[in-house]
Each structure stands twice: as structure tokens, then as C-alpha cells.
Structure 1
Amino acid sequence: MAQDVSFNVHNNNGDPVRVDAWRFGDPDNGLKVHLQAGVHADEIAGMLVLHLLMQRLAGAESAGRLNGSVTVVPQANPLGIGQFRQGRILGRFHEATGQNFNRAFDQSAALGRCATNVQAWQRKLVELAAPADVMLDLHTDDEALPYLYLHRSFWPRGRALATAMKMDVAIIWDEGGEGSFEETVIAPWLRAGDTAGRMAATLELRGQGDVADHLAGQDAAGLYAWLCDQGVVDEKPVVDDWPVEAMEMGHMETILAPCPGVLVFERELGEWVEEGQRFARIVRRPGDPSSEVVLQAEQAGRMLTRHRDRLVPQGMVVAKFTGRRLSRHWTGGLLDPN
């Protein structure tokens, strides 16, 4: 029977809200795994994945096949879940303070006394995950191929995870500096030089609209197979071979909208685009053919992500591409600094 390890925080009105969390297995015997979804609140796909995975973990636990423990937080952010405006959830940022929900976890974890409800929530979430040997944070992009995001310390070991999850690309990073949840959890490991037998990664489960039983079932099966492969579940893993492209984060090309307007993609996700080839256009003033602005690839690569909305402001991320050389725009840090 899974142990309830939920905790309460306070929302913007000061009312208590609950972060549901369950622990399967014995944390004193074997690998300790922490799985969570929805840190940004509007990234829904992972919530359904963990909802389905929990049913499989419950079966494994009742059959005595768990070696170690798996803590699951299927909806990690009750503060963001309550931020609906005109029928749409405002997930990435805390409405009252403007803070990105997945930034400054390190600062919140170090505070003796939290000044905001976001800080209190962040600290409690870090405390729940801190004992883990393995942490997987489930996210989604706007529209995207499935991809993995992980520190260099965990590559190439992370290839097994990407293969189990049928992820097309693994983006390898070296430095962050913004205090994301993943950075904060692994910081003590890196300081101690103790990454053997450990793993942490952010899993981007396609796009925000990709919430469906067949996709969630595939992803839950992939996570379960990987847990079997890691020895957490005493079953033979069933993992098909899958080609995974390892990509240095500095080689990723992020294309921003040079102007506002109607965004029209001329290439699909996953398509290969040559350097200089057009992949989209922005119609600045509908009705005026001369107002169309063509967007071209900075270098040859695959379209990994693209903007979900088709009316864009200037400066918005339009698309991200894999690349074969260091991007001329690369300045270090996170893939998405904001």
C-alpha cells in the first residue's frame, strides 16, 4: 500500500492547498526514485502519465516486486493550477509575483524563513526530493518532438532512459545558474562529485496539446520499463531500440520572431531543414503581400520545437532546431532562460 507523503502550502489567498504525493516501496531498501509532473502547472501531459504509472507501481508493490522506492508527485504545483484567466491557465509564472515557477528553487531551499508562498512551496518540494538517487521532472514544450534534457554527468547513461521513452533528442547541458528544480536537486551531488548510481533529467513530453491516453500509455510504459532496467522493479524490461540524437545545448538554434504577426509554418516538426532554407513566415499586415517576413534556418538541423499560437509578438520563440555547430547566439545558461 502506497504511503501518503503529501504536504500543504498556502495559495495567494492564504488558504491551505495540498500537494498530493505517494511513495511506493521501501525507501530503506534499494534505489530511491522521485518522479514529478506539472511544476509549471500548464504542462499537463506528465500528470496523466504519472496517473497511469501509479497504477502499475501499485500492482508491482502488491506483488512484492519493488526493490527500493518510488515517490510520485503527479500534480506538483497547486499554486499554478488555480491561475485560470479567461478560460486559460497561466502556468509558467506566478501571477502575484511574476516569478517563473521553475526558477530560484536553490534560493528557496536555502532560506531560513520563506517570505512568499512560492518560496515555501519550492522548499517543501525540494525537501521531498532531496533523499532521492533518481529524479525525473516531467514537462512539455509548446509543440515539440519528445526530448530529454540532462546534465553531462548523466550522459551517456541517460541514453537508456531516452530509448525507453522513445525520445528523439537528448540535450546535454553543463551549466544553468537559474536554480531550476533539476539544478537544485543535483547541486549537492555535483559538489560532492557523487553522481555514480544517480540520475536526474527533465523529460519534455512533446507539446502541451499532446494529452491523450495512447501517448500517456506509451510514456508510462516507457518509464516503467526504465524502472525495471534500473532494478527498481523486479521484472524483465521490455525496451525496443530507438535512435537518440545527442545534442550539445550550445548547438541548439532558437529562432525568435523579428516582428509581430500571423505565424505560418512551412515545415513540420521533425523535418530536416538546410542552412538558409525557409521554414516559416510572419504576415505582419494581412492584406499586404509586401508585409510577409520569411524565417530561415540558421544552420542545418531538425525542427525540434515550435510555437503553439499562430499570432506572435516580436521576440517570441518561434522554433528551436538541432544543429551541428555552436550557435552564434549562444551565450551560455539554460535553453529557455525565462
Structure 2
Amino acid sequence: MLALSHLARRLDECDARGEIRGEVVLVPFVNPVGAAGWINGVLVGRNDLGGEGNFNRHWPSIGKSVAADARLALGADEIANLHALRRIIGEHADELPEGSEVQKIKKTALQLSFDADVAIDIHCDRDAIMHAYTYESIWPDVSDLCAQTGCEAVLLEDGTQDAGTSTDLFTGTWERVRKELGHLFPIPIGCHSVTLELRGQGDVGEAFASGDADALLKFLRRRGAVAGDPGPLPESLCEATSLAATDLLIAPRGGIVNYKVPLGAYVSRGTVIAEIVDPGADDPLGSAMAIRTRTDGIVASRTLIRFVPRGEIVAKIVGRVSLRSGALLEP
């Protein structure tokens, strides 16, 4: 949110100089309900206290119904199909329910973004390096964003997990329509969606936020939405890898997390990433249980909370060898 505050000022300045060439929709924060979710001085805004679950999941799934409505509206012209599908997706966005605050948030988000060429869902993780999630089908089309922002890991979903993320809504809707009707009509992917993790919560501050805003503005200039020279594109800091190759390290019991390697370290399979210390044991340090990674890769994220329950994800190691299937963002 701080990075977007800096970007908003830069865009206002660009607007005053007449440099806005496209349409840029900037939402300072998508989740005002979660922003009010405080318990005993701790912000627990990721999950709805009213019982509707994780704000970052369970986004509407409209691809099949859009495809059904689009069957008679599409033809041989891909550009015409792009516009027709955006119109139909917009109609479906308007028809989404809004019986609760959470439904209203997600409906409004789609109404603001259904016709976007690029939708960037900006977050920060708990304790993490700069990284991004996107679909295999739009890589390397969004590699300029990842290079410009200095991503040290890019995780690619194959689009089959249906994890209910924003990417599943924005890009996934187009993927579903192509799956249903692509054998009949030329159908582009009309929205390239990227979830961009601006490091971790402990990194929030002026230096990073200002630099990230500069990088996002350069991306907008490079894409022609804002006039001006973005300068040379930085070299990519990583290769994109399959999300299925990410090792989620799970606490085997509750206790104190004692990390043995730093964030961003490259590690080998079998390396002890952390230990879980039981402070109630007769010999707490002697009780430590090692958590080892199953892959060679980079330590991309960790938990900020150092006292964890059993089953908590304590780290994610981004590797190259497939390890998982199913809803890959969850244990």
C-alpha cells in the first residue's frame, strides 16, 4: 500500500504533464474489511472474521458461464472476439452477487479490471524476497514486469489447480473460455494477471516503496500507458519455474522456529532450513526437530511469527523439480 501511495503521486504528476496515454486504474487497497480485522492488537486481515474465509481465495469462477454466453457472439476475427468477450465478462461482473461485504469487494474488483490488458495484484508476504506468481500461458509476455521490479523468483501456475486466486479470475477466465471454445474461434488471453509480492512486511518503508513505485511507473511507460522513456530493461534476476516445484516446509509440531539459513539463500536438497524447538521439554535445545528441504533452490519466504503451531508453513523453497499437485498455494 505504501508503494502504491508513491505510485499514485507519480501518476498524478504524469497526468498534470499530459503523459497518461492509456487507462491506469489504481486501487489503493482492495480489502477495506480486512483492514479493520484487528484482534488483541494484531491485524488478521487475510481472513474474514465473519466466516467467509480467506480474502485472497474463493474469487468468482465465471469462465464456463462466460463461454456459454459467448458461443454465439464470437467469429473468425480475434480482435473482435477480444472486445466481445470483454463485454460479456463485464456483464457477468455486474451480475455477481453482493449480499455480503466480501462478495461486494470481489465484485467491485472485477468491475474495475475486467477489461484490463494487465492486472497486477500487489501484496507483500510475511518475510520474503521479491517474487511473483503468474500463468505459464502468459509467460514470457509478463517477464518485463518481473525484470523491472527485480523479482528473484517467478512461479508459474499451469492453470489447472483452480485455487480461487485473483489470477484464476483474471487470466483464468480467458483460459477457461479458450478451453471451451478455442477449437472453434481464435481467442486471445485478454488479461495478463500477475500477483506481485513486494518482499515482506518487515521491508515496508520509504526506500523500497519509492523504488518499487519507480519500477512500476517504468513498466507502465514501457507498455505505453504512460508517455516517457522507461530506460533499458534490467536483466532478469531469475528464471521462471513451475509452482509445482516449490517445497512448502511444514512445522511437524508446535514450538519456536529457529532458522538455520537466511532468506534468499540457495540451498541443496536435504539442507536443514529450520528447527522447531519445544520450550517445554526437559532439554529444549536437545528437543529441536530439523526441517529439511526436498529440493535444491532459493529460500523465497518465511514466517514472521517465530512461535508456530503444528502444520504451519514456515518456509517456501523455490526449486526446479516438480514436487506437488493440486491446490499448490496451500499445504
Matches within 5 A, 1:247-266: 247-266=241-260
Deviation at 1:290, TM superposition (A): 3.2
Taking structure 1 as reference, are residues 76 and 118 closer, same or farther at Cα in structure 2, changes over 3 Å only?
same
Q: Give the SS at the match of 2:220.
A: helix
Find the aligned partners of 2:207 and 2:57 in 1 and give their Cα distance.
Answer: 32
Q: Spell out structure 1 runs of 4+ moving beyond 6 A.
A: none
Q: Find out whether 1:295 has 2:291 as its counterpart.
A: yes
Matches within 5 A, 1:70-109: 70-106=24-60
Which one of the candidate residues 156, 171, 194 is aligned to 1:201?
194
Which one of the candidate residues 310, 315, 321 is aligned to 2:311?
315
Corresponding residue of 2:222: 229
Q: Give the SS at the match of 1:209.
A: helix
Q: Find out whether 1:115 has 2:99 as its counterpart.
A: yes
Which one of the candidate residues 243, 247, 270 is aligned to 1:276?
270
Q: 1:106 touches 1:180 (CA, 8 Å); kept in 2? A: no
Deviation at 1:179, TM superposition (A): 2.4
5+ residue gaps, structure 2, are 63-92, 179-186
Q: 1:306 touches 1:320 (CA, 8 Å); kept in 2? A: yes
Q: Find out whether 1:63 has 2:17 as its counterpart.
A: yes
Q: Give the SS at the match of 2:214.
A: helix
Find the aligned partners of 1:62 and 1:190 in 2 and give their Cα distance.
Answer: 38
Q: Find out whether 1:50 has 2:4 as its counterpart.
A: yes
Corresponding residue of 2:208: 215
Q: Give the SS at the match of 2:24.
A: strand
Q: 2:148 touches 2:234 (CA, 8 Å); kept in 1? A: yes
Q: 1:160 touches 1:226 (CA, 8 Å); kept in 2? A: yes
User: Which AA in structure 1 matches 2:9?
Assistant: Q
Q: 2:129 touches 2:301 (CA, 8 Å); kept in 1? A: yes
Find the aligned partners of 2:130 and 2:267 in 1 and give their Cα distance.
Answer: 18
Deviation at 1:196, TM superposition (A): 5.5
- Superposed CA RMSD: 1.9
User: Which AA in structure 2 matches 1:200?
Assistant: S
Deviation at 1:98, TM superposition (A): 4.3
Find the aligned partners of 1:113 and 1:196 in 2 and give their Cα distance.
Answer: 25
Q: 2:94 touches 2:111 (CA, 8 Å); kept in 1? A: no
Matched residues, percent identical?
31
Which one of the candidate residues 98, 106, 115 is aligned to 1:131?
115
Q: 2:96 touches 2:107 (CA, 8 Å); kept in 1? A: no
Corresponding residue of 1:178: 163
Q: 2:30 touches 2:105 (CA, 8 Å); kept in 1? A: no
Corresponding residue of 2:77: none
Corresponding residue of 2:79: none
Q: 2:245 touches 2:320 (CA, 8 Å); kept in 1? A: yes
Q: 1:159 touches 1:244 (CA, 8 Å); kept in 2? A: no
User: Which AA in structure 2 matches 1:204?
Assistant: E
Deviations 1:26-65 (A, max 9, x none): xxxxxxxxxxxxxxxxxxxxx1111101111111112111
Higher relative contact order (CA 8 A, sep 6+): 2
Q: Hey, which of these two has a bigger chunk of strand by percent?
A: 1
Taking structure 1 as reference, are residues 296 and 152 closer, same or farther at Cα in structure 2, changes over 3 Å only?
same
Find the aligned partners of 1:131 and 1:275 in 2 and give their Cα distance.
Answer: 43
Find the aligned partners of 2:211 and 2:326 in 1 and give their Cα distance.
Answer: 34
Deviation at 1:312, TM superposition (A): 0.8
Between 1:291-300 and 1:142-151, the stretch displaced more is: 291-300
Deviation at 1:116, TM superposition (A): 2.1
Deviation at 1:178, TM superposition (A): 3.1
Corresponding residue of 2:137: 153
Deviations 1:245-265 (A, max 9, x none): 211111111110001111100
Q: Give the SS at the match of 1:72.
A: coil
Deviation at 1:107, TM superposition (A): 5.2
User: Which AA in structure 1 matches 2:16?
Assistant: S
Corresponding residue of 1:7: none
Q: Hey, which of these two has a bigger chunk of helix by percent?
A: 2
